Structure 1
Amino acid sequence: MKTNRYLPLVGGLLLSLGSQAQTKLATGSQKPMPAAEWIDADTGHKIVRLTALDGANESFYFHNNPFVKSLGAAGDKMVYYHSSPAGKQLYALNLKTHQSEALTRPFARVHGEIVGKKRREVFYQVGDTVYATHIDSKKTRRVFVFPADFKADITTLNADESQLGGAWGSDAEKEIYRQYPAKSDFFNRIYEAKLPRTLFMVSADGNGQLTKLFTDNAWLNHVQFSPTDPRCLMFCHEGPWEKVDRIWTLDTKTKAVKLVHKRTMDREIAGHEWFGADGKTIWFDHQKPRGQTFAVTGANLQTGQEKSYAHTRDEWSVHYTSSADQKTFAGDGGYPTSVAKSAEGHWIYLFTPEGDHFRSEKLANLKTHDYKLEPNVHFSPDGKWLIFRANFEGQAQVYAVEIAKAAI
């Protein structure tokens, strides 16, 4: 993969060329855009393409951390996926120098989005085998091989980086996926089948230890470890959100399972949950009932108390996220056929809590983006940018939009 040949980054992201930085363009009005950065004509915020146009590039799912801190004067790094005719591989982008380097090029197609910030390793799978590659040295080790009777996938790493977690599904479930590969076809079928699923851990040290934690005849999914409590594992009961009590936690030592939010009315939904950075709150998309009212709600794991921030139908987002201090939030917008049914929801949003609601600001216009690729916003490590993926230039690339409005 070719490295980006843009200007060096300052404060974590790209420093602009004078004339180029002042160019106002409608985002996605040209395929490709004529430069790697521009001012969004509809919002006045600077957008920078972080990846080069030599293949498809995608940033991580919204609750998967892609960042590791800098070493000395080096820049923070962001791990992302690069796809080419040779396959889909993990790369690391230096957010200061803008140089990209391959992490997993020797392997066949890889999957998994797990970055160990302390270990400075990225964990991933090739078939049934889990590997870890050091982000700086590129040294790779084999971590675990799933046995023939327990084929599963890792999805998360706990706070002390000692255990990887995930969910195992039955062969009958895998057969439903094989016969009905489209989400619209398999989703209700898997939910209604009530097949067994098992939450598990494997040792990140590579000693071969597999621990089965919890089994239920339900679609256990969206498995995430707390960022601060090594024993706290969050998971969901997947399925139509209005039919499930979705969000749960599990103590990996005591095996105690606890419901985080109990539905209070018919067709109430709570979903696309994520941990706040301090691990004390689980936030989620909250609608009472589905498609009628819209909010982001946080449940305190110690007290059970909840805090909701309402927002408009147009501001509903496929996924939300929160800043490190949880004082601001962001959303990636939506599309007309989504649950909110809004024709004007196609924006990257910044949300600031004010009382019981969000004050919103539009940062990037995604009108020409195809939301079959979910943008999945992340706050940059310095908190000054929102990083997302989009295909408005014709294929998936990774972008950053500056939270402060551009000075023109």
Structure 2
Amino acid sequence: MPRLLTLLTLASALSPFARAQNLPTDLPTSWVDKDTGHRVIRFTNEPGSSGFYFNVNAYSPDGKLMVYNAPDGIHTLDLATRKTRLLIPNPPRPADSAPGTPAYFRNSVHTVVVGHKTNSVFFTKTDPETHLSTVYKADLYSGEVIKLATLPARASIATVNADETLAAGTYNEHEDDSTKDFGRNAPVTPADHAAATNSTRPPTQPGFLVQAENKGQMMERRLAARIPLVLFTINLQTGKVTELLHSTDWVNHLLFSPADPTLLMYCHEGPWQKVDRIWMIHTDGTHNTLIHKRTMLMEIAGHEFWGLDGKTIWYDWQPPKGEDFYLAGYDLANGKRTAFHMQRNEWSIHFNLTQDLDLFTGDGGDPGQVAKAPDGEWIELFHPKMITGEGALNDPTFWQPGVFHSEHLVNMAHHNYRLEPNVRFSPDKKIVFFTSNMFGPSYLFGVEVNKASNPNPAEVLSTPELAAKFNPNKPTPTTTPK
């Protein structure tokens, strides 16, 4: 069958759920973005499907499968054939468990991460009677599920280490504080869903990646609450819990090194200008270390992530907030710091990279974001270039500067940034994956890194105009304070 018919299908097969919700059944599966020359592909059919948070591993160690979430459960995407498969279905919903409600959220399976050692996805499920969460892992090929460990009361986990022996998470020390813990990821409300999808249809997923309208106020209240919590690890073989840290700071965004099973990165959450955010600790509780210490009023650093080899921590650095923009890197071995500069319109909510650091990517942002970029709604490809300064004074303690040369991949003008796109490269570096609500409900998309070669003119379409045919309401900028 010709490529045009296979990729630009206007009668794509949507799930029974989609048909039941009266969603369009003719969503395009592929086109070439008129503004960029790059091919965009819709990889999922489930309304409400989405990729993982940008810094959470989604790929099997063999590089063949990608895992994503959808309202009906956890799915796999075969990167070679592009076929999808429901791996772990959500349990049957109670009659009163409507989409967007706490009961709906609690009764779902929750992905944690794809393992770095085995072809497995780790997930949790909450017992409706005890309200305790249990950690499981599922084989990505056979679907075999193994029960691993039950978490302490009020506990959740966010990451699994490189050799898959430990998970790390937090819990509130006092039960009464759990009712006040508005800082945790809560289910998306119907109002938040409507704002993020430009739709009055009920939510089709718990909304892990949708930002609440009052996020800024919530972060201020949660930081000021000083809720005592414990940062812990749990042995996935024995169930032994090890307390790493007691704190009244808001500890969040836990992420194990992809290479060192004893090294955990975490953050002090809250408005970025009010916290020293990026920290690292070993699994024996030692070497609790601040990674970036500000030296300027209103300097911010955050949205930290590991380089794929585990040798470098990367993060968004703005000295000061909203005025100057860098992607900064910290080399764990020697303390060397690198900073790639970018322009206001190039700044992104999240960044990602390839293992050899020859390409970076970003998901852009609308004018309501911290950069207040007038033309920032693009999926970006960044070509890094170091500034060598031959003959200039240099010192091992100096930041080593570089610059990003950007290339637009997708025009995201019809995407509502209340839903964060969360970009990532495919293992072969040929595709940048992202989540978008440009058609209303979210789907997992990808864009080819290389420009389309001699595309059929019928395939070359304006992405915002195409999206508007299926989702007429133009999104309004969102305000997401850091």
Tell me the alpha carbon deviations over residues 84-135 of structure 1, each in whole angstroms, 9 at most, x when there is no partner.
Answer: xxxx411111112222222221534111331113222111111212111111
Asked if 1:186 is matched to 2:218, the reply is: yes
Give the match for residue 59 of structure 1.
51
- For the Cα contact (< 8 Å) 1:33–1:393, is it kept in 2? no
Tell me the alpha carbon deviations over residues 327-355 of structure 1, each in whole angstroms, 9 at most, x when there is no partner.
Answer: 21110000111101113111100111122
Give the match for residue 10 of structure 1.
none
Q: 2:180 aligns with which of 176, 181, 185?
A: 176
* Distance in 2 between residues matched to 1:367 and 1:228, nearest whole Å: 37
Q: Larger % of strand: which? A: 1
* Distance in 1 between residues matched to 2:360 and 2:309, nearest whole Å: 15
- Equivalent residues in 2 for 1:103-118, closer than 5 Å: 103-105=87-89, 107=91, 108-118=107-117
Asked if 1:95 is matched to 2:87, the reply is: no
* Distance in 2 between residues matched to 1:254 and 1:129, nearest whole Å: 24
* Distance in 1 between residues matched to 2:27 and 2:354, nearest whole Å: 31
* Distance in 1 between residues matched to 2:426 and 2:143, nearest whole Å: 23
Distance 1:162 1:34, change over 3 A: closer
TM-superposed deviation, 1:396: 0.4
Paired letter, 1:110: V
Distance 1:97 1:22, change over 3 A: closer
Paired letter, 2:109: V
Distance 1:399 1:98, change over 3 A: same
- Tell me the secondary structure at the aligned position of residue 103 of structure 1: strand
- Tell me the secondary structure at the aligned position of residue 80 of structure 2: coil
Paired letter, 1:176: K
TM-superposed deviation, 1:69: 4.4
Paired letter, 2:266: F
Q: Larger % of helix: which? A: 2
**Structure 1, gaps ≥5 residues long:** 1-6, 8-15, 24-30
Q: 1:147 aligns with which of 146, 152, 172?
A: 152
Give the match for residue 79 of structure 1.
67
Q: 2:37 aligns with which of 41, 44, 56?
A: 44
TM-superposed deviation, 1:172: 4.9
Give the TM-score of the pair, scaled to structure 1: 0.87
- Equivalent residues in 2 for 1:119-138, closer than 5 Å: 119-127=118-126, 128-138=133-143
* Distance in 1 between residues matched to 2:285 and 2:301, nearest whole Å: 26
Give the match for residue 157 of structure 1.
160
- Tell me the secondary structure at the aligned position of residue 68 of structure 1: coil
- For the Cα contact (< 8 Å) 2:74–2:87, is it kept in 1? yes
Which one is further off, 384-393 or 209-218? Answer: 209-218
Give the match for residue 239 of structure 1.
270
TM-superposed deviation, 1:197: 2.2
Give the match for residue 415 of structure 2.
369
Distance 1:91 1:278, change over 3 A: same
Paired letter, 1:66: A
* Distance in 2 between residues matched to 1:176 and 1:359, nearest whole Å: 45
Give the match for residue 393 of structure 2.
none
Paired letter, 1:43: T
Q: Report sequence identity in percent.
A: 39
* Distance in 2 between residues matched to 1:241 and 1:33, nearest whole Å: 42
* Distance in 2 between residues matched to 1:49 and 1:365, nearest whole Å: 15
Give the match for residue 272 of structure 1.
303
Give the match for residue 196 of structure 1.
228
- For the Cα contact (< 8 Å) 1:173–1:190, is it kept in 2? no
* Distance in 2 between residues matched to 1:33 and 1:301, nearest whole Å: 49
* Distance in 2 between residues matched to 1:165 and 1:211, nearest whole Å: 9
Tell me the alpha carbon deviations over residues 268-301 of structure 1, each in whole angstroms, 9 at most, x when there is no partner.
Answer: 0000000111211100000000001001000111
- For the Cα contact (< 8 Å) 1:32–1:394, is it kept in 2? no
Which one is further off, 165-174 or 370-379? Answer: 165-174
- Tell me the secondary structure at the aligned position of residue 314 of structure 1: helix
* Distance in 2 between residues matched to 1:334 and 1:307, nearest whole Å: 23
Tell me the alpha carbon deviations over residues 61-84 of structure 1, each in whole angstroms, 9 at most, x when there is no partner.
Answer: 0001111145xxxx811111111x
Which one is further off, 292-301 or 92-101? Answer: 92-101
Distance 1:106 1:373, change over 3 A: closer
* Distance in 1 between residues matched to 2:303 and 2:405, nearest whole Å: 21
Tell me the alpha carbon deviations over residues 361-385 of structure 1, each in whole angstroms, 9 at most, x when there is no partner.
Answer: 0000111011111000010011111
Tell me the alpha carbon deviations over residues 285-330 of structure 1, each in whole angstroms, 9 at most, x when there is no partner.
Answer: 0000000100100011122221101101111111111111122111
- Equivalent residues in 2 for 1:195-234, closer than 5 Å: 195-205=227-237, 207-234=238-265
Paired letter, 1:369: H
Give the match for residue 401 of structure 1.
447
Give the TM-score of the pair, scaled to structure 2: 0.74
* Distance in 2 between residues matched to 1:225 and 1:323, nearest whole Å: 18
- Tell me the secondary structure at the aligned position of residue 104 of structure 1: strand
- For the Cα contact (< 8 Å) 2:112–2:124, is it kept in 1? no
